[in-house]
Structure 1
């Protein structure tokens, strides 16, 4: 028994000087691979999953531990929709209901969420920071609610062929590639839904940065 024990210690001293790749060759089918660090066998895969950082003295360093953000919790008070009989304990569900069912948003509908801490807002972002996060629905404006304007696409047919470009940039590119002409040469201009007129391609990029409308005539 003493001889077996001595041989184990001798093998351990020898293996501690060998690179890990010679002792435990990696394989895509390997379920668990161990590595040697300071003479101790540690589960490599398990250690990587925990993302623990081990210092030179063997202690675990949690200084770079990821802190999870606050998650929205359910509201203690039931919130009722002012337009129908919908009720929920979730601010996110309430906002989604307004958008999908009534095509509106809290600011458009004149609705705000009053927290018990005194904070009032038109979104659910406060619930991620407040420990209380218990809201009451407050309707600040009386009367018909304003709704989100539905954008109606009105594709404009090319004046030289039957192709229908869907954007101003696409229309200009179509003229250049297929008809070898430009807005100036063809004597036409395009008008954005906001009222801005395009007489050349130079103003398209700058206008797109300032306007989110894409319909044109």
Structure 2
């Protein structure tokens, strides 16, 4: 990618080539190879093996390069500006990826959450838990009778508490509504017993 940009002032898409990884992934950027451990990469021309609906012939690529050369001769092409545009595009893409990764980290709890309906599904991700309830059981957390309790004390039925960055604590547990009611009743009973023991002492 760096060679195409610095030596030929173009991108993989403009040059009509695709990078095929040994794992099967095909892309026109280097972002996949920052996470993939495979060291084998094959360069494929679009006219030899089309990727999806994108197909470009060698003649079209030659015509494009010829037009670029003519613009360069006439002084209509400023490669410094183009390089800055490419750098800006790459920074924007990396920024979006970092934002998605940060949001994903915010969704993940340090406590495993088990499905209250099937006991087969478990996850650390609040969004994945809500998605499982929706796809596997056709239920929302409210209909399933569960809520998410954060270690900071916040209780909700969605991921809004974490996604809005309201809390830095990612320890979340799933609590059934019945268990919550039982805890409230036990607390009220304990409070009443405490009042009964204090009243005679005051007399």
TM-score normalised by length of structure 1? 0.38
Q: Which has the higher helix share?
A: 2
TM-score computed with the length of structure 2 as normaliser: 0.41
Higher relative contact order (CA 8 A, sep 6+): 2
